[in-house]
Amino acid sequence: MSSDLEPFNVYLQRWGVRAAGKPVVTATSDLLPVSLRGSPEGLPAMIKVTRDADERIGGQVLQWWGGHGAARVYASDPASGALLMERAMGSQDLLRMALAGEDDAATACICHTLAQLHSHRASDPPEHLLPLADFFRSLAPMAQREGGLMADCAMVTQELLHDQREQVVLHGDAHHRNILDFGQRGWLAIDPKRVSGERYYDYVNVLCNPDLPSCTDPLRFARQLAVIVDVAGLERQRLLRWVMAHAALSAAWFLEDGSHSQAHQELAVAHLARQALA
């Protein structure tokens, strides 16, 4: 086998699959498209080998979801956290849809997928999930440094975290590129985080996604807010407060990385949410 397949060799042999493309390397993981042997057309799958402890627990969340609203996990290696998972082969893309006049449909797809993820499971969730308060640990120190709108958002965040409702295992990063087209199986989530908390939090990325240049457009914000409230059955005012919280957290993460323009964009979304609350 070629040297670029070396990280995957043990899993190719163990799970009896064959490579069906070139490896992809991300900041935390190595991925390889594969085909399952023994199926008529070589069912498409993906091997994911992660180097990150949080990603490993996220993989356990994906497995716990059991293919309901999420990609199926066909096999896993508990020692390393490696996964053999369903691979998306559909031609549609939610980010492209949102940028090409189908924003309402993209938002509805995300809402429907999240409803499946948040539905009751018979078994207990994975251990070692982080409470949502831990997820927000970067916000308070940055808000103290920056003041202004970020400080206001941090106050709203503390109120929300101390009064969480309808707590579920969250996806934690449900943006347009983490919900993919799986053809006949529909829109399914990949790459969950290891976090639990109020279900409202999972809807914020529809409005805060920094990959969407239109996220700071007041008309787009108001329209997609209305779509989420209608499709997901959420309370508008509470969702707006969670948007303030997450937009400020996202800005804090960008500031930690020195990405000031992207932080400014996220704070512009927080400003839209605060205006809508008035």
Give pLDDT tens digits for 29-66: 999 999 997 665 678 999 999 999 999 999 999 999 99
Q: Cα(82)–Cα(48) distance, rounded to whole angstroms?
A: 6
pLDDT at 177: 96
Rounded average pLDDT over 157-162: 98
User: Same domain, yes or no, for 73 and 180?
Assistant: no
CATH number of the domain at 243, please: 3.90.1200.10
User: Same domain, yes or no, for 100 and 161?
Assistant: yes
Structural domain that includes position 143: 94-277
pLDDT at 2: 59
- From 57, 86, 115, the end of a domain falls on 86
User: Same domain, yes or no, for 75 and 173?
Assistant: no
Only one residue has tokens 């920094």, namely 210
pLDDT at 136: 97
User: Same domain, yes or no, for 43 and 141?
Assistant: no
Q: Which two tokens stand for residue 277?
A: 């609350």
pLDDT at 220: 97
Rounded average pLDDT over 146-161: 98
pLDDT at 42: 76
Q: Cα(274)–Cα(241) distance, rounded to whole angstroms?
A: 8
- Cβ–Cβ under 8 Å, residues 48 and 75: no
* Residue range 192-248, pLDDT digits in tens: 999 999 999 999 999 999 999 999 999 999 999 999 999 999 999 999 999 999 999
Only one residue has tokens 């990063």, namely 173
Rounded average pLDDT over 3-10: 86
Domain count for the chain: 2
User: Same domain, yes or no, for 64 and 185?
Assistant: no
pLDDT at 37: 78
pLDDT at 7: 85
H or E element: which one contains 214? none
User: Same domain, yes or no, for 43 and 177?
Assistant: no
> Annotated catalytic sites, by residue?
173
- From 37, 63, 86, the end of a domain falls on 86
Q: Which two tokens stand for residue 88?
A: 């998306």
Task: Give the SS3 label for residue 130.
Answer: strand
- Cβ–Cβ under 8 Å, residues 188 and 71: yes
CATH number of the domain at 26, please: 3.30.200.20
pLDDT at 194: 95
